[in-house]
Structure 1
Amino acid sequence: MSTAYDARRPHRSEFLTLRGLRHHVMRWGPPPDGSRPLLVMLHGWMDVGASFQFMVDAFREDRSVLAMDWRGFGLTDSSGGDAYWFPDYLGDLDALLDAVSPDAPVDLLGHSMGGNIVMTYAGVRPQRLRKLINLEGFGLPETIPEMAPARLAEWLDELKQPQHLKTYDDLGGVVDRLMKTNPRLAPDKAAWLAPHWSQRRDDGRWHILGDPAHKRTNPVLYRRAEALACWSRIEAPTLWVEGSETNISQWWGNRYPREDFETRLSVVPQLQRVTLQQAGHMLHHDQPDALAREVQAFLG
């Protein structure tokens, strides 16, 4: 296995009880002192807060940064149920900001699923943000009411079946999995991330730190109009960042045309856009230095 990446700015782990669940929080830099907002970063599906380490290391200067593991990911408690609901992520984020920055707006960054969450939150709680950064949180393809019966039936069927995530003989297997999922991830970064993304358990095997219940079909339809109603209410200056190699058809085929997404993004009132070259969906792994430069320039 490759030598692990040497983190320039090691994180500090904390645990906060939010809405009855023990949430894992990572902090970098000095405590917030009021001179600049706390930067809160939120990861995507099947990822962890530690995933932002490479970008934090690339910042030119120390600032107060926090990343949280969403419920059911990393070292945060699972929901305790057999399904996950999007509004719970908003509730957890609201509780997090109440705990870590109750009296001051934050700078808020989200990747992928986390990007979708922060966009909705920014429209619902505009006063809680100074600036907003969305790293490839595209939203989902539009659904129609006629899809509900089949979706609900699929969910009910899946509730009867245990969900599993693949386990690995050793940490090297986890490293290989990370690099297979994202061939642009450098071996040293994969070796560093693997023990944050997985855990050796009593059976001697390495388990991915994600609740398998996340794999179940979401029975709630995605309503584009509701998402846009929130996006259009965003007051914070917003930075949209995507990778030059990202192609949304790889996930949804022709169900989500690029022009549909462009229409959605057009409702965001104060929008700046950046495309990172030689980067795919995992921008913070592929081009952490370039991403850090763009984020710092935007935040000021």
Structure 2
Amino acid sequence: MSYFANDASRRRKRRGRWLAGAAGISAVGGLAGTTVARSLTRRVTEDDPHRDEDFELLDADRGCVVTTPDGVPLAVREVGPVDAPLTVVFAHGFCLRMGAFYFQRARLTEQWGSQVRMVFYDQRGHGQSGGAPTTTFTVPQLGQDLETVLSIMAPRGPVVLVGHSMGGMTVLAHARQFPQRYPTRVVGVALISTAAEGVSRSPLGEVLKNPVLEAARVAVRYAPKTVHRTRGAASAVIGPVLRAASYGDEKISRSVVAFSEKMMHDTPIATLVGFLHALEVHDETECLTTLAKVPTLIVCGDHDLLTPKEYSEAMAAELPKSELIIVGGAGHLVQLEQPEIVDDALVRLVERATPSKLVAITRRLRERVRNHG
């Protein structure tokens, strides 16, 4: 009798914390959001070079669904011949979807032609992929999901992995759990705006201590039917941080900003809240000995507030085959803000990671593109 009474008391306390947090923080979060929005508005440029871009381009690529061992359907798109000599697999970041690699898909399709197949997928709980129990919203699970994608989409031949933000953590988790794949199958890795360990020391870490986020976590886990009520409060806390960290000081395209904000807004609240704890406790530093065996690209903006450049510099110091690029003026979404720098670096990575025959071919393709550009 006392056990059930105590259990009921714990539930009431959890619900009380959730209600108090949700009620008390929304005004503060709203004010923060307004301040960040004003700051962002000052930075966007009236001259929008990407006004006519079709940011949903990936939706027209060949698609399929890969189902994970625990039954989660992952939406997958691919471009390039299925028998291409090399496959490059892209894993996107927190509160985004595969479209976050829009510029890479557009430019590198022309760059590599028939020599490279590119595979993109939405992480569990994101984009067009299915939801999952919040208990599975962990970085190690994402590494296992990546292994599932590889086993279905690229069962043979060399692979280069590209991860942005949480997608980079996904690649790190894969390397730790499947070291036998490196360098026999995975011949190169790109880590963009990411960290080998939890982001508790970044500004995001301070935000994660906010009581409204803890209340939202409780609601997601113990009161899923009421979780929609926490969207406004939780988004008011985390949304301004994500938006402020997305881009640096340089003027940016209104269309690109609108596209990235739509991806964030469309992310289910259960996904947003569920993965926050994973980002906080993430630690895949053990994998660096495995990654030391393959050519690695590490990219970060020097205005990245979520995964500051110190995280990238620390990884590069442990990886003798790495190229480190710190992009001046760029924020967390460096592949959308300064795509040319990222694209060129990915081309160099592939040239370093692939057999000499493919290197020669890609160099000729690059020269052809530039001569006709």
Q: Same fold (TM over 0.5)?
A: yes
Match of 2:369 in 1: none
- The match for 1:266 is 317
Verify: 1:47 aligned to 2:96, yes or no: yes
Which residue is 1:56 aligned to? Answer: 105
The Cα of 1:245 is off from its aligned counterpart by: 2.5
Q: Deviations over 1:236-293 (max 9, x none)?
A: 21111111332xxx448xxx993x7644442224211112233211011101122111
Q: Distance in 2 between matches of 1:41 and 1:104?
A: 16
Inter-CA distance 264–52: structure 2 relative to 1 (3 Å threshold): closer
Q: Decide which structure has the larger Cα Rg and report it.
A: 2
2:190 equivalent in structure 1: 133
**Could you report, residue by residue, the CA deviation over 1:214-235 in whole angstroms, capped at 9, with x for unpaired residues?**
31452897375xx222111222
Measure the CA separation in 2 of the matches of 1:191 and 1:107. Answer: 30
TM-fit CA distance, 1:142: 7.2
Indicate the residue corresponding to 2:204 in structure 1. none
Is 1:295 the counterpart of 2:361 in the alignment? no
1:187 matched residue in structure 2: 254
- 2:147 alignment partner, SS class: helix
Is 1:15 the counterpart of 2:15? The answer is no
Q: 1:211 to 1:16 in 2, by over 3 A?
A: farther
Match of 1:218 in 2: 277
- 1:21·1:79 contact (CA, 8 Å) conserved in 2? yes
Contact 2:90 2:161 in 1 (8 A): yes
Whether contact under 8 Å (1:11, 1:27) holds in the other structure is yes
CA distance in 2, matches of 1:232, 1:15: 33
The answer to whether the 8 A contact 2:295-2:349 is kept is no
Gaps of 5+ in 2: 1-47, 202-208, 234-240, 352-373
Q: Hey, what's the Cα distance between the residues in 1 that align with 2:244 and 2:159?
A: 35
Matched with 1:275 is 326
Q: Are residue 68 (structure 1) and residue 121 (structure 2) matched?
A: yes
Q: Are 2:199 and 2:280, in contact at CA under 8 Å, matched by a contact in 1?
A: no
Q: 1:242 aligns with which of 295, 300, 317?
A: 300
Q: SS of the counterpart of 1:239?
A: strand
Which has a greater percent of helix? 2
Q: RMSD of aligned C-alpha atoms? A: 3.7
> What secondary structure sits across from 1:295 in the alignment?
helix
The answer to whether the 8 A contact 1:16-1:24 is kept is yes
- What are the superposed Cα offsets for residues 171-214 of structure 1, whole Å, 9 maximum, x if unpaired? xxxxxx9977645552233455677x37xxxxxxxx61335243
Alignment identity in percent? Answer: 19
Q: How far apart, CA to CA, are the structure 1 residues paired with 2:152 and 2:123? A: 15
- Relative to 1, partners in 2 of residues 1:120 and 1:81: Cα closer, same or farther, differing over 3 Å? closer
Distance 2:139 2:193 in 1: 17
TM-aligned CA distance change 1:11 to 1:186, over 3 Å: farther
Supply the distance in 2 between the matched residues of 1:219 and 1:194 (Cα, whole angstroms): 22
Distance 1:77 1:137 in 2: 24
Q: Deviations over 1:2-34 (max 9, x none)?
A: 954146885333222222111111222x22324
TM-superposed CA distance for 1:122, in Å, is 2.5
Question: Following superposition of structure 1 onto structure 2, how do residues 26-175 of structure 1 map, counting pairs within 5 Å?
Answer: 26-28=77-79, 30-35=80-85, 37-59=86-108, 60-62=111-113, 63-81=116-134, 84-125=137-178, 126=182, 127-138=184-195, 139-141=197-199, 158-160=217-219, 162=227, 164-166=230-232
Q: CA deviation at 1:157?
A: 8.1
Runs (5+) with no aligned partner, structure 1? 144-150, 168-176, 199-206
Instruction: State the one-letter code of the partner of 1:189.
Output: V
TM-score by length of 2: 0.60
Amino acid at match of 2:104: M
Match of 2:355 in 1: none
Q: 1: CA distance between counterparts of 2:270 and 2:127? A: 12
Structure 1 residues 103 and 186: CA distance shift in structure 2, 3 A: same
